């Protein structure tokens, strides 16, 4: 049974029952893809195929520079696919027809879940769909760091180094798999993941963040941005890392206590910070830590054709399945 039924108000002008029925039938669901950082074209083609195949209309808003553009585009959308785009109360207020928003990706800290619930909008993510891409970038950043940002001097190798994976979710597991290929010793800490899941992946479980940072030459962050994790990667924690430690962040900038990390990196000139999410204090990091700091100009972790295809098409399929069958499997605002 389809999830929706349409309720039409009494027509003001004369309209036959048949015509009204026809109007209902031809109402085409509008699925809006609103991506400030667009998907690869091949992924958009795949999304279009799913959406149009279901008989819906696809609308695209890419590279928008002004929130008003999003507010306008969302006004008559029934469903919305986003990436890191902010969906707050203002967007939800403007989206009068919206039934579902799917974050094509893992982290949904960009959606105001309470507001979505208040607006009776289902919010979903597409867990795991872009995690290999993010993991590959994390390993790339590790190589870049230990080879001294490719400055021509002798660096070190990843082989034999201890890698600490902070949170063992979909990305963390892919990082472990690839790091093992490099010959790294892999450790992980995740308060919500049982030891058995780590040992099954040949990863040594540790039981506190402190132990992870104390043990590992390189720590790779894969924690979500939540009230609990915000600013949790701080001076004292990172300060536990051994000499020459490298912190790699492909998670979220909000988890870093930037001023604490800056103070630490001033004290500890051996430490490096590589991030895929430009800090608020990027200019300061850049000036103070030349050769020890790198930030991508725009978040690149999930920016591969494969990840765009996987996450984008999964989002489109989840929308169709929700509209047609009421499937809420990936709902995050239950
Ligand atoms: C995610 O949470 O899925 C990643 O951070 C990717 O984000 P992006 O789609 O904005 O690149």
pLDDT score recorded for residue 26:
61
The helix (H) or strand (E) run that includes residue 71 is: helix 67-74
Distance CA 304, CA 254 (A): 24
DSSP states of 148-192 as a string? GGG-SS----STT-EEEEES-SHHHHHHHHHHHHTT-EEEEE-TT
A 10 A CB-CB count for 49 gives: 13
pLDDT score recorded for residue 80:
99
pLDDT score recorded for residue 27:
75
Q: Which residues of the chain have a pLDDT value below 70?
A: 1-26
Q: Are 247 and 294 in contact (CB under 8 A)?
A: no
Which class is domain 12-129+305-325? alpha beta
The phi and psi torsions of 121 (rounded to 5 degrees) equal -105, 130
As given in the structure block, the two tokens for residue 61 are 């808003």
Tens digits of residue pLDDT in 20-45: 445 455 679 999 999 999 999 999 99
Which whole-number Å values give the CA distances from 268 to 240, 241, 244, 245, 282, in the listed order? Answer: 11, 10, 9, 10, 18
Q: Which residues of the chain does CATH 3.40.50.720 include?
A: 12-129+305-325, 131-295
Any atom of ligand 1 within 6 Å of the Cβ of 277: no
Give the residue carrying structure tokens 């891409």. Answer: 133
Q: Which of 301, 307, 330 to mutate to test the pocket of ligand 1 (most atoms within 8 A of CB)?
A: 301
pLDDT score recorded for residue 25:
54
Distance CA 244, CA 125 (A): 37
Distance CA 205, CA 186 (A): 9
Q: Are 26 and 55 in contact (CB under 8 A)?
A: no
- Angle of helix 305-325 relative to helix 41-53, nearest 10 degrees? 20
Q: Which of 39, 82, 123, 130 to mutate to test the pocket of ligand 1 (most atoms within 8 A of CB)?
A: 130
Using CA positions, which residue lies closest to atom 9 of ligand 1?
83
3-state SS track over 99-127: CEEEECCCCCCCECHHHHHHCCCEEEECC
Instruction: State the pTM of this model.
Output: 0.92
Which whole-number Å values give the CA distances from 312 to 182, 188, 246, in the listed order? Answer: 30, 29, 32
Distance CA 131, CA 45 (A): 21
pLDDT score recorded for residue 229:
98
Q: Which of 125, 222, 299, 306 to mutate to test the pocket of ligand 1 (most atoms within 8 A of CB)?
A: 299
Centre of ligand 1 from the C-alpha of residue 92, in Å: 21
Which class is domain 131-295? alpha beta
Any atom of ligand 1 within 6 Å of the Cβ of 106: yes
Distance CA 309, CA 302 (A): 10
**Index of the ligand 1 atom closest to the CA of residue 252:** 5
A 10 A CB-CB count for 203 gives: 26
Distance CA 289, CA 220 (A): 19
Distance CA 247, CA 104 (A): 26
């Amino acid at each position: 049974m389809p999830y929706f039924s349409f309720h039409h108000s009494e027509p003001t002008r004369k309209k036959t029952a048949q015509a009204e029925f026809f109007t209902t039938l031809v109402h085409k669901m509008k699925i809006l893809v609103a991506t400030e950082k667009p998907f690869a074209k091949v992924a958009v083609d795949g999304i279009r195929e799913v959406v149009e195949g279901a008989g819906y209309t696809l609308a695209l808003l890419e590279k928008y520079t002004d929130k008003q553009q999003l507010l306008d585009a969302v006004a008559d959308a029934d469903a919305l696919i986003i990436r890191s785009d902010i969906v707050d109360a203002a967007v939800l207020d403007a989206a009068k027809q919206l039934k579902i928003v799917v974050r094509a990706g893992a982290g949904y800290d960009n959606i105001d879940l309470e507001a979505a619930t208040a607006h009776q909008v289902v919010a979903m993510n597409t867990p795991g769909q872009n995690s290999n891409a993010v993991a590959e970038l994390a390993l790339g950043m590790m190589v870049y760091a230990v080879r001294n940002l490719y400055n021509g001097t002798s660096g070190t190798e990843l082989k034999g180094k201890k890698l600490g994976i902070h949170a063992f979710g979909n990305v963390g597991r892919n990082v472990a798999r690839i790091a093992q290929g490099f010959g790294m010793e892999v450790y992980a800490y995740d308060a919500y993941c049982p030891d058995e899941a780590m040992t099954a992946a040949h990863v040594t479980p540790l039981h506190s963040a402190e132990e992870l940072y104390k043990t590992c030459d390189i720590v790779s962050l894969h924690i979500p941005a939540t009230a609990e994790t915000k600013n949790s990667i701080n001076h004292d924690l990172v300060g536990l890392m051994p000499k020459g430690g490298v912190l790699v962040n492909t998670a979220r900038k909000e988890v870093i206590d930037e001023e604490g990390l800056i103070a630490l990196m001033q004290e500890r000139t051996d430490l490096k910070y590589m991030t895929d999410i430009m800090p608020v204090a990027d200019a300061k990091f850049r000036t103070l830590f030349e050769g020890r700091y790198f930030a991508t100009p725009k978040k690149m972790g999930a920016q591969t054709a494969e990840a765009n295809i996987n996450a984008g098409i999964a989002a489109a399929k989840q929308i169709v399945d929700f509209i047609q069958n009421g499937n809420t499997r990936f709902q995050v605002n239950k």
